[in-house]
Amino acid sequence: MRLSVVEIFNSIQGEGVNLGKPATFIRLAGCPLRCAYCDTKYSWDVAAGKALAPEEVLAEVEALGPRRHLVVTGGEPMIWAGRGLEELLCGLRKFGEVEVETSGAYAPTQGVDRCVDYYDVSPKLSNAGVRRYALSGFYPRSEKAWFKFVVGSRADVDEALRLIEAAGIPRDRALLMPLSQSPEEQRAVLAEIWDYASSLGLRITPRLHIFVWGAERGR
């Protein structure tokens, strides 16, 4: 089995509960959602990546040097369940803790779940422009799952709160992050939503890599 791998690189985790951790990222190709604000549109098509067997990916990860946090991202990694994703994730465990970034539209297989330490779930609001999306009921029940909502306005915050309540997402596992592609845009969004979101008891986190590198690829 071969995965379609867009890129493998060292950086920091700029989003979610593991914000700030040094990490190695493995970006898989393919995503059917096509979010309007996606900053990795180059990963949407399965053909965008290089065909690599799980053991080849592991060799490239090892060559990048020691890391204790591994992030499999996309694209939508869960579309590779049953096609090599399980082998990749379980192989990554020898290097450190494993995080999977996902839209939450696809529940993991048992083989995937066995080898994941964190699910970094990004439920889609209307600002994503996705025609058909439903959050899998697996994630709100999983103690491994954390949820990050991309918001650009107070209306987005309200929509996120409605989804949190409707899906049964534990509020202490829900994070808001600003819809932004530049440090300036991020600061403007944070200024608009900060007081309002805080008054609702919602956590707000930056997109740290955007502050440091902007939208530079491989960061």
Q: Is residue 20 domain-resident?
A: yes
Tell me the pLDDT tens digit for each residue of 124-159.
Answer: 999 999 988 999 999 999 999 999 999 999 999 999
Q: Which residue has the tokens 């083989």?
A: 111
Q: Is residue 219 domain-resident?
A: no
Structure tokens at 199: 């008054």
Give burial (CB, 10 Å; 0-12/13-18/19+) of 53: middle
Question: How much is the pTM?
Answer: 0.95
**The domain containing residue 62 runs over which residues?**
3-213
Q: Is 90 exceeded by the pLDDT of residue 52?
A: yes
Please list the residues that pair with 23 across neighbouring strands: 11
What pLDDT, on the 0 to 100 scale, is given for residue 217?
A: 78
CA dist 214 and 210 (Å) reads 4
CA dist 207 and 216 (Å) reads 13
Give burial (CB, 10 Å; 0-12/13-18/19+) of 165: exposed
Q: Of 179, 173, 182, nearest to 209 (Cα)?
A: 182
Tell me the pLDDT tens digit for each residue of 196-215.
Answer: 999 999 999 999 888 777 77
CA dist 196 and 178 (Å) reads 13
| Helix 85-92 and helix 54-63, axial crossing angle in degrees, nearest 10 | 30
What pLDDT, on the 0 to 100 scale, is given for residue 213?
A: 76
The CA-to-CA distance between both ends of the chain, in Å, stands at 28
Q: Is residue 218 domain-resident?
A: no
What total of structural domains would you count in the chain? Answer: 1
CA dist 46 and 22 (Å) reads 27
Q: Is residue 140 domain-resident?
A: yes
What pLDDT, on the 0 to 100 scale, is given for residue 131?
A: 86
Tell me the pLDDT tens digit for each residue of 77-90.
Answer: 999 999 999 999 99
Parallel, antiparallel or unpaired: strands 145-151 and 174-178: parallel
What pLDDT, on the 0 to 100 scale, is given for residue 210?
A: 80
What pLDDT, on the 0 to 100 scale, is given for residue 121?
A: 99
Encode burial over 13-49: b for 16+ CB neighbours within 10 A, e otherwise: bbbbbbbebebbbbbbbbbebebeebebeebbebebb
* Residue 15 dihedral angles phi and psi, to the nearest 5°: -140, 160
What pLDDT, on the 0 to 100 scale, is given for residue 219?
A: 66
